[in-house]
Amino acid sequence: MSYEADEMMSVEAARQLRDVTACFVGIGLPSTGANLARRTVNPDLVLVYEAGAIGAKPPRLPLSIGDGMLGETADYIASVPEIFNYWVQPGRIEVGFLGAAQLDRYANINTTVVGDYAHPKVRLPGAGGAPEIAASCGEVVVIVRQSPRAFVERVDFITSVGHGDGPGARERLGLRGKGPTKVITDLGILEPHPESRELVLTHLHPGVDVEQARAATGWDLKIADDLQTTEPPTEEELKALRELLAA
């Protein structure tokens, strides 16, 4: 069964939530992956949204974190301060799903500005709850399309800390969570090296080669010695994804 690169990315993102209890969900690609997980690998997954919905079960993809459907289908509605003060900052959420406008070799995320902060070329949506999610969730999975525009040598602004400037950076900042453990793109999967914390390409999606991944990266991308090929989407996964996107 044929599929698009974005479909491969969404399916692989959903697979990362197979054994997870609770996931903090961003809008866009992260929301697609998390909601697909509930329809496939983890029907009991608890989706947590920044506006306060805990255990939301949206029948379609929400338009925003404040989509009324999230509240209507949630197990519980918390205030925004409670979401962050009680659930996120103490580390009670296992996985945070985040997107990015820019990402660097240490998985630092920019969603604030492109260019100089005072005189930006583009002003982006901003931080929202992403800095707290990146700091305090047990781990973070970043979902972003891979291109030189997005994968840059150095982000123009660090909105959410990934692995800072390398080994020990998160510890020096007192950040509770592990930070980004995987970056899922339309080309493959990157993971931080256990010592340098620099992102390394560990998987390529079917039909993608190393040179494509390198050409889509704004730094000298390191490749894992045991580079693997991602399992292609199954017919059931694609059917569930397409039904979700069409709802």
Q: Above 90 in pLDDT, residue 28?
A: no
Q: Containing domain of residue 110, as a range? A: 5-246
Cα 92 to Cα 201: distance, rounded to the nearest angstrom = 29
**Closest alpha carbon to 189 in 242, 144, 220:** 144
pLDDT of residue 112: 97
Q: Is the pLDDT of residue 194 over 90?
A: yes
Let me know if 185 is exposed, middle or buried by CB neighbors in 10 A (0-12, 13-18, 19+): buried
Least confident of 119-123, 125-129, 227-231: 125-129
Q: pLDDT (tens digit, 9 = 90+) per residue, 64-99?
A: 888 999 999 999 999 999 999 999 999 999 999 999
Average pLDDT over residues 191-215: 98
Tens-place pLDDT, residues 160-171: 999 999 999 999
Place 191 in a pLDDT band, splitting at 50, 70 and 90.
very high
- Asked if pLDDT for residue 158 goes beyond 90, the answer is yes
β-strand partners of 180: 140
Q: What is the CATH number of the domain that holds 41?
A: 3.40.1080.10
Say what the pLDDT of residue 65 is. 87
Contact 22, 46 (CB under 8 A): yes
At residue 178, the pLDDT reads: 97
Cα–Cα distance measured from residue 133 to residue 224, given in angstroms and rounded to the nearest whole number: 28
Question: Residue 247 pLDDT > 90, yes or no?
Answer: no
50 labelled catalytic: yes
Of the residues 50, 132, 198, 237, only one is catalytic, namely 50
Helices and strands of the chain, counted as H and E runs = 8, 14
Number of domains in the chain: 1
Residue 27's pLDDT is 83
Cβ(12)–Cβ(184) below 8 Å: yes
Task: Say yes or no to pLDDT of 114 above 90.
Answer: yes
* Angle, in degrees to the nearest 10, between helices 29-39 and 235-246: 120
